[in-house]
Amino acid sequence: MHVSNLLLPLLTLSVTAPAAVSALHINPHHKKALSTLTTNQQAKRDGSVPSTHKNKVKRLVKKKKRGTCQVKFNATSVATEPTASSTSAEVLPTLTNNENWANATASATQTWGDNTASASASASASSTSSAGNSQSTSSWSKVEEWSGDSFFDNVNFWEWNDPTHGTVDYLNRGDAWNSGLISINANKRAVMAVDTTQVVSGGRKSIRIHGNRIYTGGLIIMDAYHMPTGCGTWPAWWSNGPNWPEGGEIDIFEGVNDFGQNQVSLHTGNGCTMPNNMNDNQVGQLTTGGYDSYNCASYATSNQGCGVRDEVTQNAYGESFNAIGGGVYATRWSKAGITVWFFPRTNIPSDITNDSPEPSGWGKPMAHFPSDNCNPYQFFYDHFNIFDTTLCGDWAGADGVWNYAGYAGQSQSCASKTGYATCADYVLNQGSAFAEAFWEVSYVKYFNSTTEV
Ligand SMILES: *[C@@H]1O[C@H](CO)[C@@H](O)[C@H](O)[C@H]1NC(C)=O
Ligand SMILES: *[C@@H]1O[C@H](CO)[C@@H](O)[C@H](O)[C@H]1NC(C)=O
Ligand SMILES: *[C@@H]1O[C@H](CO)[C@@H](O)[C@H](O)[C@H]1NC(C)=O
């Protein structure tokens, strides 16, 4: 969840972060009218069997686990000032990521196996290649799955201020179910939507969830049929460790506004760098910016980190992703490094479908961050996954981004497309424009390996 390098002034940050901390103890008022989706919009999300919906909602509301999310902000971790290059053609989504300032873990409500090993696993030398073993039986075994009716039982809801300053009002679990913003549709997929009430004030209702599973290494496979799209949106599927940036951040599936290309990024503490031949081993290419793109360290790069944008793969992000029924993002965090593949719906390997993944046969990945000069168990640890849809905020809403076109597959600026001078005005006044701003997720699966991790 990186952000543009249009960082807020330090003063603003120092004011904002403590406010967010105290908000942890406040139960925000969520008393506004329910979403006013049209029947068609609702049907699209729900499938054709809305009759069972209400019972399901009630059941799941009962299961709500309050008081388990102990996320805290690290208000002392402040980024440097923005640079002049931030409005240029290289609108680098360099983060500010206040969530990054989140000294945060969604505190696990359950215990999962042995978490004690592997922190000392050494980075394997050789692997700028994505190749793994070639045996016919997968060395990865499934250790957890989020899907179907219990999908949301695996997560906590972030119900406080958006750390990235979006024009959103994040709902807690109960309000999210009761307002219809989250649901399990007829195809047993988890839906996370944005309120489409035409005019709202303050922020538009949306969802941000943090997974309960804390992991260090593994293979995480996420299958989505639909992602949030459109001007004003900034959706992301990503993971984060504690004490940002020391625990590292892996942005897997992310973009803003009308982007048509995905960008994968790492943000780390000092010392993690990428080799010069990195681009040879991935489909995407390192982004270039005002800082050394091979340096993943946040503080040294004004939070740019190392980002890989994929200009080649079709249907990997945005409207074209949705048009084909999405696909699968697979992230392998192993001795070889951190590697992300995307498979469009029609090209998902059967070993993924069969729950016996064989990354060695998946071909060149979208992004591969090798372990050569970046030990993936030193710069990354104790991650939890996050889905969110924020609106505007530090990246999508930055003036230079709202007014810009010609980047990441977006041909017209949102200012020109919407007729609104600011992202926030558009978001607050044009709710009907957010009917496509929803996630529809089939599953998230965690695999582990005793040989690769
Ligand atoms: C906050 O983050 C900074 C920078 O990583 C770190 O030096 C500091 O110890 C952190 N503070 C807390 C309370 O975690
Ligand atoms: C935040 O960081 C401090 C300092 O490193 C640590 O002691 C504390 O446990 C962390 N809290 C959380 C919730 O991660
Ligand atoms: C895999 O196992 C290791 C060692 O027990 C653990 O640290 C890690 O979190 C596990 N990864 C996943 C995805 O469960």
Is 246 touching ligand 1 by the criterion CB < 6 Å? Answer: yes
In the predicted model, what is the mean pLDDT of the chain?
77
Q: For tokens 């046969």, what's the residue?
A: 361
Ligand nearest to the CA of 246: 1
Domain count for the chain, please give it. Answer: 1
- Residue 244 is predicted with a pLDDT of 87
109: CATH: 2.60.120.200
195: burial class by Cβ within 10 Å (0-12, 13-18, 19+)? buried
73-82, 220-229, 311-320: segment of lowest average pLDDT = 73-82
What pLDDT sits at residue 392? 97
What ligand is nearest to the CA atom of residue 241?
A: 2
- Tell me the CA–centroid distance for residue 242 and ligand 3, in Å: 16
Is the pLDDT reported for residue 121 higher than 80?
A: no
Residue of the CA atom closest to atom 4 of ligand 1: 77
Cα of 71 from ligand 2 centre, angstroms: 10
Q: Which ligand is nearest to the CA of 74?
A: 1
Q: What SS3 string covers 346-394?
A: HHCCHHHHCCCCCHHHCCCCCEEEECCCCCCCCCCCCEEEEEEEEECHH
Which ranges of 236-370 does DSSP label H, i.e. alpha helix? 319-323, 350-353
Ligand 1: residue whose CA is nearest its atom 11: 74
- Yes or no: say if 305 and 292 are a contact pair by the CB < 8 Å rule: no
Supply the pLDDT for residue 45: 55
Region 130-134: mean pLDDT is 39
Ligand 3 pocket test: pick from 105, 111, 114, 220 the residue with the most ligand atoms within 8 Å of its Cβ: 114
**How many angstroms is it from 77 CA to the middle of ligand 1?**
6
- % of the chain surpassing 90 pLDDT: 65
Which residues are within 8 A (CB) of 29 and not within 5 positions of it... i.e. 6 or more apart? Answer: none
Active site residues: 249, 254
In a domain, residue 299? The reply is: yes
Ligand 2 touching residue 72 (CB < 6 A): yes
Q: In this model, does residue 403 exceed pLDDT 90?
A: yes
Rounded to the nearest angstrom, the distance between the alpha carbon of 244 and the centre of ligand 2 is 10
| pLDDT at residue 351, rounded to an integer | 98
Is the overall model pTM greater than 0.85, yes or no? no
Q: Is the residue at 2 inside a domain?
A: no
Pocket test for ligand 1, best of 71, 243, 299 (most atoms within 8 A of CB): 243
362 is a domain residue: yes
Which ligand 3 atom sits nearest the alpha carbon of residue 117? 4
Please identify, by atom number, the ligand 2 atom nearest to the C-alpha of residue 70.
13
Q: Judge whether 5 lies within some domain.
A: no
Is residue 69 in some structural domain? yes
Position 17 pLDDT exceeds 70: no
The closest of 227, 146, 165 to 194, measured between CA atoms, is 227
Q: Residue 453: inside a domain, yes or no?
A: no
For residue 133 and ligand 1, the question of a CB distance below 6 A is answered with: no
Distance of CA 103 from the midpoint of ligand 2 (Å): 6
Q: How far, in Å, CA of 201 to CA of 169, rounded? A: 10
Q: What is the pLDDT of residues 339-390, one digit of tens each?
A: 999 999 999 999 999 999 999 999 999 999 999 999 999 999 999 999 999 9
Ligand 2 pocket check: which of 99, 103, 107 to mutate, most ligand atoms within 8 Å of Cβ?
103
pLDDT of residue 16: 27
Q: Where are the beta strands (DSSP E) in 54-200?
A: 141-147, 155-157, 168-170, 182-184, 190-192
Burial class (CB in 10 A: 0-12, 13-18, 19+), 385: buried
Other beta carbons less than 10 A from residue 275's beta carbon: 15
Contacts of 282 (CB under 8 A, 6+ apart): 308, 364, 365, 366, 367, 368
Q: Whose CA is nearest to atom 9 of ligand 1?
A: 243
Residue nearest to atom 3 of ligand 1 (CA): 77
> How confident is residue 276, by pLDDT bands cut at 50, 70 and 90?
very high
H or E segment and range at residue 338: strand 337-344
**pLDDT at 297 > cutoff 70:** yes
- Between CA 271 and CA 373 the distance in angstroms is 8
Structure tokens at 181: 């913003």
Residue bearing tokens 């709500």: 64
Question: In this structure, is residue 189 part of a structural domain?
Answer: yes
Residue at 254 is within a domain: yes
Ligand 1 centroid, distance to 35 Cα (angstroms): 39
Ligand 2 pocket test, pick from 70, 99, 101, 243 with the greatest ligand atom count within 8 Å of Cβ, gives: 243
Identify the pLDDT of residue 118.
31
Closest CA to 378 of 211, 245, 213: 245
Q: Is the pLDDT of residue 11 over 50?
A: no
- Other beta carbons within 10 angstroms of residue 156's beta carbon come to 25
Is the pLDDT reported for residue 39 higher than 60?
Answer: no
Higher-pLDDT residue of 217, 60: 217
For strands 439-448 and 208-211, give the pairing: unpaired
DSSP annotation string for 286-327: E---SS-TTB-BTGGGTT--EEEE-SSSTTSSTHHHHHTT-E
Q: Are 378 and 216 in contact (CB under 8 A)?
A: no
Using 50, 70 and 90 to split pLDDT, how confident is the model at 1?
Answer: low
pLDDT of residue 419: 98
Domain hosting residue 71, numbered range: 10-448
